[in-house]
Amino acid sequence: MDFGPKYNPNPGEIVSRHSSTIWRDVRESIMAATDRIATPIELDPVLLQSGPGQEQDADDAGLCERCRHFDIQAFARSDNRTRGYMLRDVEFAATHAGDDGVTVGCAFCSLLLSSVKDVERPKDSTEWELNVFRFPIDNDPSMYVHMTVHNTEPTTRSPTPGLRANRLRAAIADRFSEVMNVSGYELCLVADSESPAARRNDITGRYLGSDPGSDAHFDTIQAWIRDCESHPRCKQTVSGRAIDAYQAELPARCIELSARGSDIVARVISTEGMRGSYITLTHRWNLETERCKTTAANCDQRQRGLDLRHLPRLFTDVFAIAARLGVGYIWIDSLCIIQDGDGGADWKKEAPRMAQYYQHSLFTVAGTMEDMDNGLLQPYSEDDSPWGHGMLVRLPYRDRTSEQAGHFFVYRRQVPVVNDYWATVRESILFRRGWILQEWLLSKRLLWYTPKGLFFECYTDGPRTEYQERVLVENAQSDLRAQLQLKGSFAPDNIGILDFWYRTIELYSSCNLTKPDKDRILAVAGLSKEVGPILADRMRETAVDGVHHETYLAGLWLRDLHHGLLWEEDHSALPWTIAVDEAPTWSWASLMMLVRWPDKDNEAQKALQVIGLCQTRQDGVHHRPEYTIERGRWAVQRPHGHTAARRAPFDPTNMFACLHIRGRLSTVHVRGYLGTEGNTRAATATAYSTRPPSDQWRALCSPTRPEVIAGWASAERLRTNEGDAICADAGTAVQVLHVSTRFVRSGFLLKRKDRVLDVLLVEEIDATNYVFRRLGVGRIFDRDLITELEKAKECVIQFV
């Protein structure tokens, strides 16, 4: 009888999954092959071993007979790269003593068993059919531990010969059913770099040991960089300009490394106009950093040499990394920018250049340890290895002739690699820095030194470990997936680059800044410097108010100001406590708090017009704008009322702007909080995509009908007593500025479009000159109040 390719009921032969047909003879043969009583955990897996007569290695004594003949090439001979063991055999080998009576359990079978013991037994569509040959599912000897080899290598890598495996996926399944329940554990395959398994590309995972300063680690870093050199996206800026990381324009100052015998000599020198390769460091400022910063007083001395004894271990380890990789220059902001004694002149000049510095560097080094006293190159403890307290199992490696040629290793990750990356990188104290976001988004290559090992991350392939384990977007939790996709969308061909900007600022608003009054806008200046050219290129044909270039104002883009003004406090976080007075109140940058934007409505109609602006703060009021829009072009105001054609300059460091706006103002009443049910109804009525995560919306109503809820407001600057009852008060009178009108479609058979107004809550702070500040944002859906607001007379205000 033909049972299909490679099938043999003899446990000593290699077999593979075949048909969904149930053969009685197969069942009888399987039962005849085992004389043990089945237990609830036993499933019948397919055997993976080499032919008889192969010489055994004495070092494989911790394995059962079957695993000592393990043959990785058997997977290559299977169409679906799947083989397996009978589960009952795995359990027996894992829990019984070996032939010597001393060894307790096969190491590999124990690893398999620990990976599948909690997996629910699969039930296929025929489970309830009458079948006299079917065994009860918990006592079925045809159940197998199916093993499938695969890899997480980037798709950008050129195909190479060999099995190219770094993962072993374990699953529980009937021998003949297509229904498989996969284990949630990651079984990883690694080999020493110089082993036959590695050289022949059968095992692509690597075991480098626990010392990040080893030659193997630095060889791997160099290999990563070489691989990245073939990626087109990693050889251009975000806005599309070509980069040569080996002949890059150097920063204004760099730390130059040289050798004096076996010692490293470092000095801060002027490199303006020079070319070469350099690496950058992103780090968290602390007291040690503060003590060793460059100032106007010590700048000249540092050109003669740095005293390495007085530098943090983090810095000297970065010097060692650069020296080992043959890179002669390093850029560290605290050492290469004058931080004190020059009135901030050097910092103001250098901060906008960071987009270039991080993008053009060979790679950026980052240390995510909570305590950096031991630097970056401290060996990891065994507990911090991927397998933790688990087993690192050694299996025999056999080549394509079935001859044993060394070994490779398999282990079960104690934490999935994607969770390790999230915990040690994204959730690290370093990633709470406000500056880290643009450094991460702009750097083409990053080398993350974490408490549990290395992550190498490039713009094209994303993060991967020193073990060659790749962090896959599809396996990431929602927050990490969104962040990785965010970086992938920062590209010149992204037609939704403004959506990227808003999502980035939302993420940035969750970070901390030591000096928010100076850095709130500066820390994203490098990003705006790249977004500007993309906007100009992608939207060249779409002018705003007749203006054909990009104007950047305190963190928002004039082109999309009607949407940009609609930012809202994210009430899922703590209320703000720090105001940034240097920024205008209409900008998200004016308050240190978590912000978010609503989904954009591309059909929304604009209701206000920016007719001019001032980009410099004046002692008095801004009676006349510095720039106005005349006949579709920017015009600069001159003395005696004259104007001259000149566009408002693009300034990525712009912190302040006064907007001169023509629009409609009306008075409404802000009442108490809506509560959960009220929030839901208000969100639905105003086409808000999702109900806000907390009940911090307040009711808006007409002054003439305070009992009717006409809309909602998120009023970040309108403070009230904590004991305010839900919608119980008569309300506080405030003015609203109509920003835009959106349309909500409703009805089933008779469709209709209802108007919803986007408004800003504003407060007049200078009645003589019509100067207003922002109090909050909201939406109005009541038709009568909408009519009142649309009948209001247009006026010109100054918005600060």
Per-residue pLDDT, 133 = 54
DSSP letter for each residue of 285-315? --HHHHHT---TTTHHHHHH---GGGS-HHH
Pairing type for strands 633-637 and 643-645 reads antiparallel
CB 121 within 8 Å of CB 43: yes
Counting DSSP H helices and E strands in the chain, the numbers are 22, 33
Per-residue pLDDT, 745 = 79
Alpha helices in 292-443 (DSSP H): 299-304, 313-324, 333-336, 345-350, 354-360, 417-421, 436-442
Whether residues 535 and 468 fall in one domain: no
With respect to residue 372, please indicate whether it lies within any of the assigned structural domains. yes
> Lowest-confidence range among 464-478, 542-556, 563-577, 612-626?
542-556
| Dihedral sign from CA coordinates of 200, 203, 208, 212 | positive
Whether residues 361 and 252 fall in one domain: yes
Prediction pTM value: 0.83
Whether residues 455 and 512 fall in one domain: no
With respect to residue 510, please indicate whether it lies within any of the assigned structural domains. yes
Whether residues 631 and 743 fall in one domain: yes
- What's the mean per-residue pLDDT of the chain? 82
Whether residues 639 and 505 fall in one domain: yes
Whether residues 630 and 700 fall in one domain: yes
- Which token pair is 766? 């200078």
C-alpha distance from residue 488 to each of 3, 485, 560, 576 (Å): 49, 5, 22, 31
With respect to residue 389, please indicate whether it lies within any of the assigned structural domains. no
Cα dihedral 326/328/329/335 (nearest 10): 100
CA distance 318 to 324: 10
Per-residue pLDDT, 750 = 64
CA distance 204 to 189: 8
Residue 601 sits at φ, ψ, to 5 deg, of -105, 105
C-alpha distance from residue 385 to each of 354, 407, 557, 603 (Å): 35, 20, 46, 53
Q: Which of 427, 457, 488 is the last residue of a domain?
A: 488
With respect to residue 777, please indicate whether it lies within any of the assigned structural domains. yes
CB 222 within 8 Å of CB 325: yes
* Span 477-504, average pLDDT: 91
> Lowest-confidence range among 386-395, 416-425, 495-504?
386-395
CB 43 within 8 Å of CB 88: yes
Angle, CA of 81, 86 and 92, to the nearest 5°: 135
Whether residues 503 and 647 fall in one domain: yes
With respect to residue 794, please indicate whether it lies within any of the assigned structural domains. yes
Whole-angstrom Cα Rg for the chain: 33
Whether residues 668 and 791 fall in one domain: yes
Q: Which of 427, 454, 488 is the last residue of a domain?
A: 488
With respect to residue 256, please indicate whether it lies within any of the assigned structural domains. yes
CA distance 46 to 326: 50
Q: Which of 430, 464, 488 is the last residue of a domain?
A: 488
With respect to residue 90, please indicate whether it lies within any of the assigned structural domains. yes
Count up the domains in the chain and report the number. Answer: 3
Confidence of residue 622 (pLDDT cuts 50, 70, 90): low
> If you ran DSSP here, which 8-state letter would residue 512 be given?
B
Whether residues 475 and 510 fall in one domain: no
Share of the chain above pLDDT 90, in %: 48
Whether residues 420 and 517 fall in one domain: no
In the predicted structure, residue 39 carries a pLDDT above the cut 60: no
Confidence of residue 40 (pLDDT cuts 50, 70, 90): very low
Whether residues 763 and 671 fall in one domain: yes
Find all residues with CB under 8 Å of 448, minimum gap 6, and list them.
366, 368, 424, 425, 454, 455, 456, 457, 463
Whether residues 466 and 613 fall in one domain: no
What residues make up the domain containing 278? Answer: 232-380+416-488
Per-residue pLDDT, 207 = 84
CA distance 713 to 671: 9
Which residue in 399, 564, 408, 589 sits closest to 498, CA to CA?
564
With respect to residue 59, please indicate whether it lies within any of the assigned structural domains. yes
Pairing type for strands 364-367 and 445-450 reads parallel
**Helices 107-116 and 87-95, interaxial angle, to 10°?**
120
